[in-house]
Amino acid sequence: MSSVNNHSPDEIEWLNVKDVPHNCLLGPSISIVLATFNGEKYLSDLLDSLKNQTYPPLEIIIGDDGSSDQTIELIVQFSKHSNTTVGLKRGVNQGSSENFLSSARFSSGDWIIFCDQDDVWNENRISLTIEEISKNSDVCAIFQSCLICDEDLTPRSNVLFPGSHLPGLYDINSLGIPHVWPGFLQVLRRDVVKVAFLGSRPPQDYYSQNKNCIAHDRWTFILASMLGKVSVQDVSVAKFRRHSRAQTGFYDGKKNRLNKFRQVSQIRFERYSNFYIHFLVLQAFLKRDISLNSNVPRYLINQTSKQYLEWATEAKILSMLLGGAKLGRLSYWFLVGLAYSRKHKNIKFINQILVNIILRILRK
């Protein structure tokens, strides 16, 4: 069993700093930030894949959240045979988002990659990252892809995950922030992570892991989309292991087959209602906290805030059409939606309006 944790969460223990030779990297430096909690079953596979990277990381920062199994012992043994500096930060019951962000504070690389304890990286993951940075020096984030695998790392299909965007470069605020790229597939420039450190994260009453705050990867995704160009890669860089103990178990690689329109409409109604409040909160948070506590240019904050207001408006209209308004008011909200679509030249939103009206009718 692991020893009792007597370390402060604001401290880090460098396990092998005296034994690792100085790496004279020819390109940008990469910090890997790994969050662990009772991960002994799969951790060795992950650590081996980090050790086998063709482009070595500058350091591996490991934040443990109070493991009671052999996780710490595995980390210590790994550090003894690693050619990369390994730092260990110990905490208790922070939750994965707090663990990731508080651990990333101790990193020093030019770029930061979040890492989950039960996945396995392809040996060229960091090399692909470096190639992308060399081709597009103005990007502030790289969003990568992977294969969803079962517990034994057998791919469930050859379809890349998340597969929501075409590969290539995306300008500021052009990715579509309601979507979130999973944290373990995000490669972030240091300034993006530093902005995330500047103040508290926005509140969020769903999908929150601790303290009712927005998840770390949703927050860094938002910041990266706001702060600069991002690149999407459609080459698999890791095996995403899905198992019964995985925290994000809803990524099962299969489409959820809903048999009743009632279920579909209810889920969408709850989602739109939540998004409406969530987007307004994010808009206010950006204007208040980010503008006061960072050097982010004002025009970027204004642009992102405007986009959130547009998404909140769309979510409000759709929620009213789907169940928030009485049947007698459907025509009013339908006309509001058409006027909004025409003003913003958004044909896709018209299709969403029609689908939600149909679902509303079928639900009755």
Same domain, 194 and 60: yes
Q: Does residue 196 sit within a domain?
A: yes
Same domain, 167 and 274: no
Same domain, 138 and 95: yes
Q: How many Å apart are CA 101 and CA 109, to the nearest integer?
A: 15
Number of folded domains in the chain? Answer: 2
Which domain covers residue 215, as residue numbers? 13-241
The answer to whether residue 178 scores a pLDDT higher than 60 is yes
Q: What is the mean pLDDT of residues 178-201?
A: 87
**Token match 């109604």: residue?**
269
Q: Does residue 121 sit within a domain?
A: yes
Same domain, 237 and 141: yes
Whichever domain contains 81, its CATH number is: 3.90.550.10
Q: How many Å apart are CA 142 and CA 132, to the nearest integer?
A: 8
Q: How confident is the model at residue 201 (pLDDT cuts 50, 70, 90)?
A: confident
Q: In the chain, what is the greatest distance between 2 CA atoms, to the nearest angstrom?
A: 74
The answer to whether residue 313 scores a pLDDT higher than 60 is yes
Q: Does residue 250 sit within a domain?
A: no
The answer to whether residue 3 scores a pLDDT higher than 70 is no
Q: Does residue 249 sit within a domain?
A: no
Q: How confident is the model at residue 8 (pLDDT cuts 50, 70, 90)?
A: low
Same domain, 193 and 312: no
Q: Does residue 256 sit within a domain?
A: no
Same domain, 307 and 209: no
Report percent pLDDT > 90 for the chain. Answer: 63
Same domain, 233 and 343: no
β pairing state of 229-241 and 139-149:
parallel
Same domain, 309 and 206: no
Same domain, 176 and 307: no
Dump pLDDT digits (tens) for 106-152.
Answer: 999 999 999 999 999 999 999 999 999 999 999 999 999 999 999 99
The answer to whether 241 and 153 are in contact (CB under 8 A) is yes
Q: Who contacts 40 (Cβ-Cβ below 8 Å, separation ≥6)?
A: 67, 69, 70, 71, 74
